[in-house]
Structure formats: structure tokens, C-alpha cells
Chain A
């Protein structure tokens, strides 16, 4: 079967660094996405990884290891506005997106 696992909830402190992990088992792999969703709002695209390694985009970085079926989203210099749910999704061999249940990130002052 197809499965995406990520922690349900994480708490971090403003100004700190947090890493949100995502592990997956899917039928085929054509890339992994991270989306951010603030409460009551639509998900918005953060990053896309298809090759192994780290992709950096400002305070946010995303890492992929295809051999391990593993990715993480790294958020640096946390700000209160980073409080949101972070969704991991894998694009399978049919280019369909398989979604994790999301990680709710709580930032404390």
C-alpha cells in the first residue's frame, strides 16, 4: 500500500530551528512536495524535491533521500507566523499526489 508518515504535532520556540520529518512508501516516485497550511486557509506550495539532497529557499530547506524514503523540512529562525500545519506529499508513478496527514507546528515565544 501507499503510506506517508509525519508527526502529528511539534512545538518549537521563536528564533529556534525545527525539523519536520516525512517518511513514505509509495508505488513509484516522481517527487516530494511540502505545503504550508495556516488554520482556516488553503495549503500553499513550499518546496519540491525530486533528486537526493538539500534544497534551500530562504529560512526553509527541504531534504530528500530516495533510497531511505525520507524527507525533512527544516525551518530556521522561527517566527510566530510559522505556526501552521506542514503537509508532505509524494507524487507517485501516475503523477498522483499521496498526502500525509500533516504536522501541526506550534511556535512559542
Chain B
């Protein structure tokens, strides 16, 4: 079956712009999580959506937002981009059953802010 698909894979923006990233989860997976990954910082949790509702949110400013559609596809948006937002943004989907919450990650969207 198809994996987690993220688009675009690479993008370059300038400070002050905004960006929207897209994630299509594995068919049947209702939970989508977003992470920011930078060298030396590991995976930083942004938010999780389940059945179109934000279930959990990490410690990121309000410039970072997301949503999930009825088909479980998700988007995240970053407004008023800053240089520090340059990172790999990873999306992961899961069945989100209690027990082992095994995540399947997409290949990521690498954002460069100039």
C-alpha cells in the first residue's frame, strides 16, 4: 500500500512569507502528526490531528497551524517565516490505537528560509 506522501519535498522562501505543506497519510490511518527536525535538536512535536480535530499541540508559536480534512489529508501552515524556521518538516500517520502508537513517516518537506 502507498506510504505517507508529503509535498512539496523542497522549497525556498524568504523571511516574512508564508508556506503551506501537505501530507497524505496511509489509507485507513486517521491520525496525522507533524514534526520539525533540525540538526542537533531531534524531532520537535508540532501537533497531532485525529478525525479532523487537533488532539495535541507542541510548544510552537501561533505562526504554526494545521488542519485535517475529512479524507485524513493534512496541511500545516507557517506564517511570517523566520530564518529559524528552516528545517525538515516531517509528517507521520498512525492507526492511533492505545498501545503502541507506531508512526509511519513521510520523506519530509525541507524548508529553507532566506
| Residues of chain A whose beta carbon lies under 8 Å from any beta carbon of chain B | 8, 31, 33, 35, 41-45, 48, 50, 87, 89, 91, 94-97, 99-102
Cβ contact within 8 Å between A94 and B105: no
Cβ contact within 8 Å between B103 and A45: yes
Which of B11-19, B39-47, B68-76 contacts its partner? Answer: B39-47
A61 to B100, CA, bound (A): 17
Question: How many chain-B residues does the 8 Å CB contact rule pick out?
Answer: 21
The answer to the question of B86 belonging to the interface, with a C-beta cut-off of 8 Å to chain A, is no
Main secondary structure of the interface of B (DSSP, over half): loop
A39 to B21, CA, bound (A): 21
The answer to the question of B80 belonging to the interface, with a C-beta cut-off of 8 Å to chain A, is no
Given contacts A87-B43, A96-B45, 4 further A-B contacts (CB under 8 A): A31-B99, A44-B105, A91-B100, A99-B44
Cβ contact within 8 Å between A42 and B108: yes
Q: Which of B43, B104, B107 contacts A41, CB < 8 Å? A: B107
Cβ contact within 8 Å between B42 and A102: yes
Cβ contact within 8 Å between A50 and B42: no
A19 to B106, CA, bound (A): 27
A78 to B42, CA, bound (A): 24
B40, B43, B56, most chain A CB atoms within 10 A: B43
Contact code string B75-114 (vs A, CB < 8 Å = 1, else 0)? 0000000000000001000000011111111111000000
B42 to chain A: closest residue by CB? A101
Smallest CB separation, B31 vs chain A (Å): 10
A99 to chain B: closest residue by CB? B43
B40 to chain A: closest residue by CB? A101
Report B30-61 residues with CB < 8 Å from chain A CB: 40-45, 48, 56
Report B2-23 residues with CB < 8 Å from chain A CB: 4
A8 to B42, CA, bound (A): 10
Q: Which of A48, A87, A91, A96 contacts B56, CB < 8 Å? A: A96
A45 to B103, CA, bound (A): 7
A31 to B101, CA, bound (A): 9
> Given contacts A87-B43, A101-B41, A102-B42, is CB(A95)–CB(B105) below 8 Å?
no
